[in-house]
Amino acid sequence: MTASKKPQFYRRTLPETCISFCSTEGKAIFKEAMLSGHMDGYFPLAAQFRTQDEPAYCGLSTLVMVLNALEVDPGRVWKGPWRWYHENMLECCTPLDIVERQGITMEQFTCLALCNTLSTTTVYVDQNTNVETFRETVMRCTRSEDEFIAVSYSRKILRQTGSGHFSTIGGYHKGRDLLLILDTARFKYPPHWVPLPLLFDAMKEIDPETQRPRGYLVLAKASTQPQMMFQLNPVLGV
C-alpha cells in the first residue's frame, strides 16, 4: 500500500449508544444534569480539557487534565516561567517512548498518579464489583471539585472504533443514568453522554496486556495525611 492510499479520516461518527455533548439532546441533558447538581466537577475539568497529542496518550492526557484541574503544582517548570503539568512531564513510571507506542495500563496510570502526589483509589471491575458502588462513586464525585474519576474501558463495548481507552467523567444525569465522557481523542469523537451501565460493562473487559479487567480510579489531592489505596489484587473488588 502506498502512502497516499493509507486510510485517513475526518473524525468518526458517534454510534447510537452515545449522545454528542454538542447536539441539541446533549445540551438538554447537560442543562438538566447541571440543575440537579451533578455538574460541579465539570467546570474545573472542562477548563483543562485537552486533545491527546499521540494516538496512545489517552491515559497521560486524562491524568494531565486531572492534575491541572486539581491544581497540583508540579514543583518544576513546564515552559517559560510556568509550573504546569504536560504529558511530557509524566515519565516517572514508564519511558515516554514506550507509552507512545503502547499506551499505559491501569497499573501504570496508578503509578503515575501516585508519583505525582495524588491520593488514588484504583478499582478493577471484576465479578465482585457492582454497578451500584460505581454509581455511588459517580454521584459523589460529580457533585465535587475535589475528586475526579478516570475510567479505563473498551471502546468496542460502546460500539466505538478502537480498543482500550482512558477518559475522565465530566458529569452525570441521574434521571437518565447517563455519564459525560470527556474523550481526549477529540480528533475522533466529541465529548459524549453514555449509559452508566454500558460504561460499567466496558470496564469489565480483560486487558490483553495485563490479563486483568479494566476499571476506574478515583483521584484527589493528597491530604496532609495521605490515604492512598491501591487495590493490587483485582479479585478483591471494592
- Give the integer Cα–Cα distance in Å for 120 and 161: 29
Would you count residue 8 as binding a second copy (CB under 8 A)?
yes
Query: At what angle are helices 131-142 and 196-204 packed, to 10 degrees?
Result: 120
Residues marked active site are found at 58, 165, 183
Shortest reach from residue 51's CB to a second copy, in Å: 7
Q: Is the CB of residue 201 less than 8 Å from the CB of residue 25?
A: no
Shortest reach from residue 191's CB to a second copy, in Å: 5
Buried b (16+ CB within 10 A) or exposed e, 38-61: bbebbebbbebbbebeeeebbbbb
| Binding to a second copy in span 30-89, by CB under 8 A | 30-31, 34-35, 40, 43-44, 46-51, 53-55, 68, 71, 73, 77-84
List the grid coordinates of 83: 509550573
Phi and psi at residue 98, to the nearest 5° = -75, -45
Q: Is the CB of residue 57 less than 8 Å from the CB of residue 101?
A: no
- For a second copy, give the closer residue by CB, 57 or 153: 57
Among 152, 148, 135, 199, smallest CA distance to 41 is for 148
Phi and psi at residue 44, to the nearest 5° = -65, -30
User: Which x/- pattern, by CB under 8 A, does the window 166-195 give for a second copy?
Assistant: --------------------xxx-xx----
Shortest reach from residue 227's CB to a second copy, in Å: 24
- For a second copy, give the closer residue by CB, 9 or 95: 9
Amino acid letter, 27: K
- Give the integer Cα–Cα distance in Å for 230 and 39: 27
Would you count residue 101 as binding a second copy (CB under 8 A)?
no
24-32, 111-119, 134-142, 152-160 -> range binding a second copy (CB under 8 A):
24-32
Element (H, E) at 221: strand 215-221
Give the interface size with a second copy as a residue count (CB under 8 A).
43
Would you count residue 5 as binding a second copy (CB under 8 A)?
no
User: Which x/- pattern, by CB under 8 A, does the window 130-169 give for a second copy?
Assistant: ---------------x------------------------
Write out the residues near a second copy by the rule CB under 8 A: 6-11, 21-22, 26-27, 30-31, 34-35, 40, 43-44, 46-51, 53-55, 68, 71, 73, 77-84, 145, 186-188, 190-191
